[in-house]
């Protein structure tokens, strides 16, 4: 991926690019098999970086960063048409964060793919039209407090958010927000929104700080190591989740 919010030098994954002409000639057989396997495991599949299935960022082999590359087009309509013929429901979430082009928006609207709304992105400027603020959501969307690439809600509030960001959170919610209550206040914002689906990391349910962060994009060490312990799941937590789910008719 090119440079973005998460990494000034981009994200260099080292993956080879797909031969899209060969994919087309086989009727996207490999892609259909892959999606079929995923849907045998999960009810809904998130397509990470949908941007890359409309156009992908290609860098030379051996590059040390992802800064110097170019966008290459993908036969996305043909690809997704073949998926929908195979899987008529095609239950996916389209990860559409970052800079999204009109071509990506057109694909999402054409296929009615639900996009993502991340609350940790909602308070970085004083703009009531900010697309991540809940009052601007469309029903066909999925709201997250944060994703695996973000800090936890508490970690963000304590260490990343500016004083202005924190003040905007309090003003938007209508009461004083602090590190102790920010996680569940954002969970409540997500649940009461009109977004069809609300998702939040277990770290936010537990109210954890930076010690619970899952992943730091652009870094190679210390990621994906957080684990929940059985003693962290207690009846009061279950009751709180049940209550907020019932309150906002998400049962």
Global pTM reads 0.90
pLDDT score of 89 more than 90: yes
* Residues 97-116 pLDDT 10s: 987 899 999 999 999 999 99
- State the pLDDT confidence band at 58, using cuts at 50, 70 and 90: very high
Residue-wise pLDDT tens digits, 223-245: 999 999 999 989 999 999 999 99
Decide if 14 is inside a domain: yes
Q: How confident is the model at residue 55 (pLDDT cuts 50, 70, 90)?
A: very high
Strands annotated E in 59-161? 70-73, 92-94, 115-118, 141-144
Residue 108 included in any domain: no
Per-residue pLDDT tens over the stretch 178-232 = 999 999 999 999 999 999 999 999 999 999 999 999 999 878 888 999 999 999 9
C-alpha–C-alpha distance, residues 37 and 21, integer Å: 23
Residue 241, domain extent: 114-251
Classify residue 106: in a domain, yes or no: no
Question: How many domains does the structure of the chain reveal?
Answer: 2
Same structural domain, 50 and 145: no
- Same-domain check for residues 226 and 126: yes
3-state helix, strand, coil in the chain (%, to 5): 40, 10, 50
> Is residue 107 assigned to a domain?
no
Residue 118 and residue 82 share a domain: no
pLDDT of residue 91: 97
Q: Examine the pLDDT at 34 and tell me if it is beyond 90.
A: yes
Structure confidence at residue 241 (pLDDT): 95
Q: Look at residue 135 and tell me whether its pLDDT is greater than 90.
A: yes
pLDDT band (50, 70, 90) for residue 13: confident
Catalytic residues, by residue number, are: 48, 95, 149
Rounded CA separation 247/177 (Å): 21
Tell me which H or E stretch contains 58: strand 55-58
Whether residue 88 is found in the same domain as residue 133: no
Mean pLDDT (the chain, rounded): 94
Q: Is residue 125 part of a domain?
A: yes
């Amino acid at each position: 991926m090119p440079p973005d919010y998460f990494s000034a030098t981009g994200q260099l994954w080292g993956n080879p690019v797909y031969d899209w002409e060969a994919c087309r000639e086989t009727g996207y057989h490999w892609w259909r098999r892959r999606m079929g396997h995923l849907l045998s495991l999960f009810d809904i599949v998130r397509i990470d970086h949908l941007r890359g299935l409309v156009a992908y960022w290609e860098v030379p082999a051996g590059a040390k960063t992802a800064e110097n590359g170019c966008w290459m087009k993908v036969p996305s309509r043909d690809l997704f048409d073949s998926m929908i013929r195979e899987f008529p429901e095609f239950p996916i979430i389209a990860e559409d964060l970052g800079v999204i082009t009109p071509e990506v928006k057109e694909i999402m609207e054409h296929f009615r793919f639900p996009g993502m709304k991340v609350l940790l992105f909602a308070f970085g400027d004083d703009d009531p039209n900010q697309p991540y603020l809940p009052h601007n959501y469309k029903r066909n969307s999925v709201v997250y407090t944060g994703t695996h690439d973000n800090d936890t809600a508490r970690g963000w509030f304590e260490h990343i958010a500016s004083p202005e960001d924190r003040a905007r959170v309090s003003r938007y919610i209508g009461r004083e927000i602090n590190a102790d209550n920010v996680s569940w206040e954002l969970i409540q914002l997500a649940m009461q929104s009109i977004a069809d689906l609300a998702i939040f990391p277990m770290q936010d349910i537990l109210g954890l700080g930076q010690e619970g962060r899952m992943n730091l994009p652009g870094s190679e060490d210390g990621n994906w190591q957080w684990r929940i312990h059985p003693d962290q799941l207690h009846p009061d937590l279950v009751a709180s989740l049940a209550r907020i789910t019932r309150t906002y008719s998400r049962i």
